Structure 1
Amino acid sequence: MRPILRIFLSLTVLLACVMPHAHASVANAPGANLEVALVTYGPGDVYWERFGHDALELRDTVSGEAVNFNYGVFDFNEKNFFLNFARGRMHYLMDAEPTGDEEGYYVQVGRSITRQRLALTPAQAAALRDFLFWNLRPENAGYNYDYYVDNCTTRVRDALDKALGGIIKAHLAAQAGGMSYRQQTDRLMSAQPWLMLLLDLGLGPYADQPMNAWSESFLPYELQANLRRIRVPDGHGGTQPLVQDEQLLSPNRLSVPPAQAPDLRRPLGAAGLAFALLLVATARRARRVHALLATLYLIAAGLAGLLLLVLWTLTSHHSAWANANLLLFSPLAFLLLRTSWRARRGLAPTRFANGVVVLQLLAALAAVLLHLLPGTVQQNQPWILFALPVWLALAWSLRQAAPPASFAGAASARG
């Protein structure tokens, strides 16, 4: 998806619908002359390109004119773009561009291009063309983007399904999907580990719901693969493949995402255990180091909890709502910052701090029990394995803050 707003080109294509032509073009060619193809572009290096992209190509077989229609245009310069993005109100646009110009960009940046010619009847091809040109009008081109259920690929999928009378949805909705939204996100973002971890932390139970092949076709590569299995009427009482032929127009020159999502349980569990052991080891022998480590964790946990709470209550990011990780990373952590530095001087926690610690441990226990309940949707085992040993180590180390010298002093007095 390229952040380039090409309104003038869109208007030019629209004018093609109403201006007289000396020769046929995509805008006014009869359906029998229209060739329809799905063009799929491989993932790019930039984070917003990791999911890939696609477009519908309409080609007039008489004049040779070919136009790509895609739904992936956004503008960083739009007023309040980043604020709207943070609030989950992303504005995207449909666009159209000559096929040669569109594909030239992807060849230049090294992203693969695959073209699937589709078996649409003349009436279906004409109906798809008419819908795409209607959708291209300025009053219809914009839409509210959702990265899972309403994006540049689901719009392409839905346009094809509409032209084919619902065949695609009927076929794919009956097939189980291979991964969840979370797994696909982790897989595709694994080239940027820190961003992948932040996204995984922020995804709630919505991202773990079972998917069918229709919903999993929110990704360009999944839609491309799923269309290969669909058959449509051939007009003679039989059926034929929807994908008539498939061509790799340009190979991929970038790193390819892994086929499976990484299993985060082992690395996050090991990191949590190692941090917990470090807290225990420094609790008495290196209290300044312990205070620094505890402060670092408490600030990170508090900020994470605050972010999760904001995503749930103040944004439209429904995939982040009701996130059980709030039980593990809570703004309550901020209330223990002073206690961690008091422990450095051998001062025991206050009654209030003890209450906060108990409350946080109960919340962590609730996260574990919630995950073990039958029918639990959210798959947050990696974050439980990370946070639970750290909270236990913090609770233990804070209880060790009372200086043992007081007991030695009492024994001397008795002597």
Structure 2
Amino acid sequence: MKIILVFIFSLSQLGYSQCLPEISILTCSPGDKVYSVFGHSAIRITNKERSIDYVYNFGMFDFDTPNFTLKFVKGKLSYYLGIQNTANFIQLYTNENRLVLEQKLNLTKEEKSKIITNLNYLYQPENRYYLYSFLEKNCSTEIRDLLSEAGTNFSNQEIEESNRELINSHLKRNLWLRFGTNLMLGKSLDKKSDNYQRMFLPFYLKEEIANSYINGKPLVKSEQVLNSIENNKKNDLVNWFSPLLIFSLLLLIFLLWSPKPVELIICLLTGGIGLVLSLMWLFSEHPEVKNNLNVIWCNPLYLIYIPLVIKNRSHIILASALFITLISTIFIWIFNVQSFDIAVIPILIILGIINFKQLNRIGFSNLHKLPYKMIINFLIPSPSS
């Protein structure tokens, strides 16, 4: 701790000295752990004459935080800005077989002084903690904002990809994580992104920094890789056990053999997950999980099916309403209101079969009892007079 305090004091004096530091952006390649699959960004400050070489890391968090998972889901988990020795930082990522790329910035004395002053302000105990937001506030966006405040001219031109597509591009080798991520993220992720917004991902921050200017000059003056790693390319065999394959096999089995216990398990899982997604929509402070239309097909109402299936009973309105939700999901997908993971297709078919069985138990001759006008008026409200 004393070393860090001396380091901060030394930095505070650099703005008044001719002995200027080097400021670099470090980009770490993705790792195997869930929290590391998108890579990482940090700021390095070096001054050989003063033996200064430290990393400002906005991605610090404490796994031992009480109720860690619940706080993260609710958007209440505090991340913080920490300072690490650069050699230790690089060694940590080397041990995880992750490359560390350095971009040295082309800054004037005033620009360096402004960045260092802002970093020291953010490191103060009352300022260093922040609530993590996947799109708006993380290790990459904090660096982007610091560089913007120093005068970097970042483009905000719209791009063809949505934020969901940008995220999915990092999950090609982890299809189960991609499925879970797409299940949790709401329709706001399907809006077109732009060059500025996409810097919430470290790779795109690095890319934009390389192509940006600050006060009329290129922002980056040099790039180098700081470590070497083994080439451990993953075996693509893991993708054979993708959600799409597993759910398709489940659909095939369900078409041939679907006893009551299987229906109960599917209804329990679908309804239970739908309930969790609904609670996240209502109570989480993560804006990315709001307005999640996955709850239309992954509906908590499937939990009501459980006692009905056990007692061989059906409910005409419930069965019809859930059948309509599946059809609505298809139209939501077709008209790009929200994109769903392709692996949900066999799940939708399985749920359609379950609802069809419920309607068949009722007897299609009794479907005239369904209050269609009420449903149509709900889906297509008449114009007010």
Aligned partner of residue 382 in structure 1, secondary structure: coil
- Give the total of aligned pairs: 357
Render the CA deviation track for 1:309-362: whole Å, top value 9, x for unaligned. Answer: 11111111221111111110111111212333445xxxxx34xx2321111011
Query: Among residues 83, 94, 98, which one is paired with 1:107 in the alignment?
Result: 94
Conserved 8 A contact 1:14-1:133: no
Correspondence for 1:28: 13
Aligned partner of residue 92 in structure 1, secondary structure: strand
TM-aligned CA deviation for residue 392 of structure 1: 2.4
Aligned equivalents of 2:334 and 2:90: distance in 1?
49
Correspondence for 1:181: 163
Q: Which runs of 5+ in 2 are unaligned?
A: 364-385
Conserved 8 A contact 2:26-2:41: yes
Is 2:155 the counterpart of 1:172?
yes
Conserved 8 A contact 2:30-2:36: yes
Aligned equivalents of 1:188 and 1:279: distance in 2?
32
Q: What TM-score comes out, normalization by structure 2 length?
A: 0.83
Correspondence for 1:332: 301
Correspondence for 1:385: 345
Is 2:327 the counterpart of 1:365?
yes
TM-aligned CA deviation for residue 104 of structure 1: 2.2
Aligned equivalents of 1:329 and 1:214: distance in 2?
33
Render the CA deviation track for 1:186-236: whole Å, top value 9, x for unaligned. Answer: 333444433332221111101211111111111111111111111334xxx
Is 2:248 the counterpart of 1:279?
no
Q: What TM-score comes out, normalization by structure 1 length?
A: 0.77
Alpha-carbon RMSD: 2.9
Correspondence for 1:193: 175
Instruction: Indicate how the Cα distance of structure 1 residues 31 and 101 shifts in structure 2: closer, same or farther if over 3 A, else same.
Output: farther
Aligned equivalents of 2:156 and 2:96: distance in 1?
35
Is 2:126 the counterpart of 1:139?
yes
Correspondence for 1:394: 354
Conserved 8 A contact 1:34-1:59: yes
Conserved 8 A contact 1:295-1:340: yes
Aligned partner of residue 50 in structure 2, secondary structure: coil
Aligned equivalents of 2:126 and 2:184: distance in 1?
34
Aligned partner of residue 211 in structure 1, secondary structure: strand
Correspondence for 1:314: 283
Aligned equivalents of 1:257 and 1:38: distance in 2?
28
Aligned equivalents of 1:101 and 1:231: distance in 2?
31
Conserved 8 A contact 2:7-2:52: no
Conserved 8 A contact 2:134-2:288: no
Matches within 5 A, 1:217-256: 217-233=199-215, 239-253=216-230
Instruction: Indicate how the Cα distance of structure 1 residues 322 and 247 shifts in structure 2: closer, same or farther if over 3 A, else same.
Output: same
TM-aligned CA deviation for residue 137 of structure 1: 1.2
Structure having the higher Rg: 1
Render the CA deviation track for 1:136-183: whole Å, top value 9, x for unaligned. Answer: 1111111111122100111011112211x2x33xx3212x34643323
% same residue: 22
More moved, 206-215 vs 246-255:
246-255
Correspondence for 2:65: 78
TM-aligned CA deviation for residue 274 of structure 1: 5.2
TM-aligned CA deviation for residue 254 of structure 1: 6.4
TM-aligned CA deviation for residue 366 of structure 1: 2.1
